[in-house]
């Protein structure tokens, strides 16, 4: 598993948590993490 795949898997798991869904800051943070992961993949 690559780092990008691990970040994506982690992000999906975290976004499914109610605590994350109810926190706009957490959703924004995970979105930024995915952007960074995607840039690193390219």
Q: How far is CA 18 from the centre of its chain?
A: 15
C-beta atoms surrounding 34 within 10 Å: 17
Domain range for 23 = 3-40
- Give yes or no for residue 3 having a pLDDT over 80: yes
pTM of the model: 0.68
Distance (Å, whole) CA 18 – CA 38: 25
Number of domains, the chain:
1
pLDDT band at 2 (very low <50, low <70, confident <90, very high): confident
pLDDT of residue 16: 92
């Amino acid at each position: 598993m690559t780092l990008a795949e691990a970040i994506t898997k982690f992000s999906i798991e975290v976004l499914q948590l109610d605590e994350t869904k109810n926190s706009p800051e957490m959703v924004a943070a995970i979105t930024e993490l995915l952007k960074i992961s995607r840039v690193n993949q390219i």
